[in-house]
Amino acid sequence: METNKIRMIELLSLRQEPDHYRMELCVTASEERNRFVLDIDEHTFHQLSAAVPRTGERVRLSLYPKWDAFGKRFNSSLTKVNRDTSLHFPFTCTKCYVKQLESAMREEALSVQEEHRASVSTTPNAGQKQSSEKVHFRLLGKRFRYIAARLAVFTIILCLASITMNRELFEDYSDPLSHRVIAASSNETLTEPSPAPWTFGPGIVQAASWSGWNEKPLVESMRSAKQDEEKIQPAEPEKKLSYEVVQLPADKLQYSLPKGYVALTFDDGPSVYTEQIVDILKENDVAATFLFIGKNAKRKQEAAAYASEQGMVVGNHSWSHSDLSQAESEKALIELKRTNELLEEITGDPTTIFRPPYGAVSNELKAQVKQLGMKTLMWNRDPEDWSVKSAADIVKYFHQTNPSGGIYVLHEKKITAEALPEIIDYLKKKKLKFAVFE
């Protein structure tokens, strides 16, 4: 199944030449990185020049410039990333710039697809490799295993009830020997041991032979069995949540989903809005993946536990939300381990998902994540809910982008919680299947 590719665009340089203006970009699709040089218009060049920081940090461009109908212009932003923080700088741009950006993204996607086809056609076991790289879906997550356990307990109760009813068909409670057996089963002390009159096989009750056998009337036994059967009412099955669990690949970053699927993920919690967001998801019979910051989880342990108890997936988003790709190896490993230990103590489950702050990764960080038994979850849809002014702006983004195959990165904000019911309703109307990760 073809998946949508994420594009991360880094701005490498801006140049003013005698007759035109140029920008150099690094475009990342999946794990492929290629450089592009684009000619841009004068307005966008000067806007970028004013917004770009002069201190040498990495600069990432927003993937989705937005049309401002009131101002009759396109708005975009760039993000300056350093070791501990990220700063966002807005700028205005033209339709020409937007088309150039889309062209670079499209060319990058086509080049990745061509390289993939070439590798498939030249590799003897390409079919097996391609098959092994598909996203594996598990239809039964924690919620469904819980339902299965309840059904198993109910089945055992029915079996015991069946045994009890069959026993009543043969047992004579007026017989003194029978009373002695019942007393023994109730831990009452007998004056002298007596052999049990029953032997139990799987689902079968047999009577031992001895003198003085008295059978209860069959009609009375059938009436007793019917009364017992009426007392046992099957438990109402728990409502099945409309989501699937996606097994993340261990050896590559997960940026997107197959067409027909969508995932909501929430970064930077837990917060005062965690329980509200979880309740909205539950009311709509869907689930999401929450990437918690360790120091926040330490302060909001009840909120973190609540998310896990309600069937949400909880993952690691570092301890301090610093750029671990630029951190010293020992510091990065300490942050990962410390967060894992706290989340596992709170939820009772192993932490298997990691999302790098700012989406910044390095080969060393990927190796450390894999060493700890975790998998890396990225994203390909960003409504930038940390910068917009209203819930309507967030909802508008969902309507302006194709949600199929999207992994949306959201944050635990008041306006995000306000927009969430309308977002879920829109995605359901698109007939998309919600996904969570493990």
DSSP states of 217-286 = PHHHHHHHHHHHHHH--PPPPPPPPSEEEEE--SSS-B---BTTEEEEEEEEE--TTHHHHHHHHHHTT-
- Active centre residues (catalytic): 267, 411
DSSP code string of 51-75: HS-SS--EEEE-S--EEETTTTEEE
pLDDT for the residue numbered 37? 86
pLDDT for the residue numbered 298? 97
Per CATH, the architecture of 248-437 is what? Alpha-Beta Barrel (3.20)
Q: Residue 86 in contact with residue 325, Cβ under 8 Å? A: no
Q: How many Cβ atoms from other residues are within 10 Å of residue 233's Cβ?
A: 7
The helix (run of H) or strand (run of E) holding residue 90 is strand 86-93
Per-position pLDDT tens, the chain of length 438: 444 455 578 888 888 887 788 888 888 776 677 888 888 888 888 888 887 766 667 788 887 788 876 667 788 888 877 655 667 778 888 888 888 888 777 765 555 455 545 544 444 454 444 444 443 444 344 455 656 666 777 777 776 666 555 554 444 444 433 333 333 333 433 334 444 333 333 333 333 333 333 444 444 444 454 455 455 455 555 445 578 999 999 889 999 999 999 999 999 999 999 999 999 999 999 999 999 999 999 999 999 999 999 999 999 999 999 999 999 999 999 999 999 999 999 999 999 999 999 999 999 999 999 999 999 999 999 999 999 999 999 999 999 999 999 999 999 999 999 999 999 999 999 999 999 999
pLDDT for the residue numbered 241? 52
pLDDT for the residue numbered 108? 59
Best CA proximity match to 111, nearest among 226, 4, 167, 29: 29
pLDDT for the residue numbered 198? 35
Query: From residue 253, how far is each of 114, 183, 187, 210 by CA, in Å?
Result: 20, 64, 60, 72
Domain boundaries, the chain: 7-118, 148-231, 248-437
Q: 3-state SS of the chain: helix, strand, coil percent to 5?
A: 40, 25, 35
Residue 185 corresponds to which tokens in the numbers above? 């089963």
Strands 243-247 vs 433-437: parallel, antiparallel or unpaired:
parallel
pLDDT for the residue numbered 305? 95
Kindly give the residue spans of alpha helices, DSSP state H, lying in 284-328: 294-299, 301-309
Residue type, 111: S
